[in-house]
Amino acid sequence: VSLMAAEKLLIISRSFSTIQYSEISFKNDETEARKMTAHYFKLTLLLTSGAIALVSIVPEAFFLAIIGENYTGFKDHFLLASPAMILLALGNILYHYFSGLGEFIVYTKASLVSMVITILGGVILIQEFEIEGAIATLTMSYAVLFVYQYYFYKFNKRRILKTESTQ
């Protein structure tokens, strides 16, 4: 339940990325796309972190009154999963930047590496540490996904991809 609630934080980035994607693909201006992406990246980080901060100050008893007393540890698991959700939310903004420019290969490659991390983490960590192992696996997977995309965004590696794909 806590992971499902943590995933609701993605509404923020999904809302921004929908606008971002349509604007980037319509204008087809890389300079403007980078400015817009930086803007939505900062907004997503601020608002997602703010939502997490709000949850952190609400007593767990409040959440248990809503979802039931059987879910003790809800708040701890939610907060433990919040770095993963921030990484995924920011990665979502980057994904839509590349998608809007027609560079789907960046996310595809990032997803493949992330999938390997998820499989390995699932086999090793989830069996040993249960929910905490699942959260650690998510965090590692989303971190790889984010770092891969951020590298290509930050260092403007689109040109390298275009050069490789045309050879």
CB neighbourhood size of 161 (10 A)? 15
> Is the whole model's pTM more than 0.75, yes or no?
yes
- Residue 160's pLDDT is 47
Mean pLDDT of the chain: 89
Contact between 114 and 145 (Cβ < 8 Å):
yes
Percent above pLDDT 90 for the chain: 68
Q: What's the pLDDT tens digit per position in 25-84?
A: 998 888 999 999 999 999 999 999 999 999 899 898 888 888 887 777 888 888 999 999
Q: Which two tokens stand for residue 105?
A: 């290969």
The mean pLDDT value for 115-132 works out to 93
- Residue 162's pLDDT is 55
Cα distance between residue 106 and residue 93, in whole Å: 13
CB neighbourhood size of 15 (10 A)? 14
